[in-house]
Structure 1
Amino acid sequence: MINEEELYEVREHVEELLDGHEVLQLESLDLDGLEVEPGEYTAVYAEFLWAQLGREKQDKFLKQLREKVGKDVLLVLMGEDYVDGESFPVARTDQHGNTYEFQKDDDGNRFEVMKNYPSDSWLRKRIGIAAREIKVLRSEYYWVVTARLK
């Protein structure tokens, strides 16, 4: 579910946060093949990826990211909030606390998608493993978290 007007506003806010930075924009959460040198980037940005990263993999991801890009790098993550009546209903929760939704493709075929909707406290707890100065901004449809990698 995308609210275009609010998405535009949130992306403008993210652009302001990243202004003046050398930004590594993550297109995937698989960091194994990511070849960067510490100090090469001053900020890392990922949009809509956190929801699909299993809770059991989040600590490892953050530690690996910190090792790849170095300390004091600005981390900016953006994700979707669950909006009652508009988001796909959560179909199930696994043993790690990951939630899943059923969605349909263009042909009407139903498939399951991991879609975690983290609370502010969950974001602070997880991201606090590898970062400091954690701030969470929420709008009706989206959240943005900023932090400095330790």
Structure 2
Amino acid sequence: MEAYYRERAAVYDEFYQVSRRQDDLVALRSWVVERVQNSTILEVAAGTGYWTEVAAPAAKTITATDCNPETLAIAAQRSLGSHVSLIVADAYQLPEFPDTFSAGMAMLWWSHVHRQRRQEFLSHFASRLAPGALILMFDQFYIEGLSSPISRRDEWNNLYTERVLPNGKTFEIVKNYPTDDEIFETFSDLCEHVEIARLREFWTVSARLRR
């Protein structure tokens, strides 16, 4: 997974240029901005910083993390502002921070979390956030004929797909498509006010950590 996104870094933002996604992206940008006003945000899997840049004008501070310095180098070229920090960090082994955060973001990340590690990741992420913090995530759901074909399932029922980059390299990555019930069940263990919505190609979840 890390190697795939490292190799894909230079062309990753082409994802946001696909015409059929534009209405959803407009809605998602508004959804993020409305919810992060004056927040101190911890973002994991920030990638090239597309959503960091969306949130930056509304946020008080953002600490954006990703495991790949190559993607963060692209993020650093954006006009993010001095209140945004970019840090190389593993989403499952986040560093200790001087303060906790009032919001957490992980966009287009949940589908890459193995099913057996969902609670592990969410608990670890929550440990870096303040009680009552808002968690925001969104990702894609499966659409026959549009989504990448599923190449296999493993013993945990994780789904995998093969991706071919412009340079010809092929990667197999985990790409899960959780149901609304699965999302609600996972988040309800730690959160309240779990709200799930669906657009044309994406689902969203917002939830509050219990105090």
**TM-score (normalizing by structure 2):** 0.65
The answer on whether the counterparts of 1:47 and 1:79 sit within 8 Å (CA) in structure 2 is yes
Cα deviation per residue 1:33-80 (whole Å; 9 max; x = unaligned)? 322255x32110111111111111111111122222232110001111
Match of 1:18 in 2: 36
Cα deviation per residue 1:108-129 (whole Å; 9 max; x = unaligned)? 3332111111110010011112
The answer on whether the counterparts of 2:111 and 2:174 sit within 8 Å (CA) in structure 1 is yes
Alignment of 1:30-45 (within 5 A): 30-37=91-98, 40-45=100-105
Q: Distance in 1 between matches of 2:155 and 2:107?
A: 26
Match of 2:23 in 1: 5
The answer on whether the counterparts of 2:134 and 2:206 sit within 8 Å (CA) in structure 1 is yes
The answer to whether 1:116 aligns with 2:179 is no
Which residue, out of 182, 194, 211, partners 1:134?
A: 194
Residues 108 and 5 of structure 1: CA distance in aligned 2, closer, same or farther (over 3 Å)? farther
The answer to whether 1:144 aligns with 2:201 is no
The answer on whether the counterparts of 1:77 and 1:145 sit within 8 Å (CA) in structure 2 is yes
Unaligned runs of 5+ in 1: none
The answer on whether the counterparts of 1:83 and 1:140 sit within 8 Å (CA) in structure 2 is no
Q: Which amino acid aligns with 2:110?
A: W
Q: Distance in 2 between matches of 1:15 and 1:84?
A: 30
Cα deviation per residue 1:5-37 (whole Å; 9 max; x = unaligned)? 322321221111222322222234624232225
SS of the equivalent of 1:11 reads helix
**TM-score (normalizing by structure 1):** 0.89
Which residue, out of 77, 83, 97, partners 2:137?
A: 77
Deviation at 1:147, TM superposition (A): 0.5
Unaligned runs of 5+ in 2: 1-14, 46-65, 67-89
The answer on whether the counterparts of 2:136 and 2:206 sit within 8 Å (CA) in structure 1 is yes
Match of 1:63 in 2: 123
The answer on whether the counterparts of 1:42 and 1:74 sit within 8 Å (CA) in structure 2 is yes
RMSD of the alignment, in Å?
1.8
Deviation at 1:4, TM superposition (A): 3.3
Which moves more between the two structures, 136-145 or 2-11? 2-11
The answer on whether the counterparts of 1:36 and 1:69 sit within 8 Å (CA) in structure 2 is no
Higher RCO, 1 vs 2 (CA within 8 Å, ≥6 residues apart): 1
Number of residue-to-residue matches in the alignment: 149
- Where in structure 1 do 4 or more consecutive aligned residues deviate above 6 Å? none
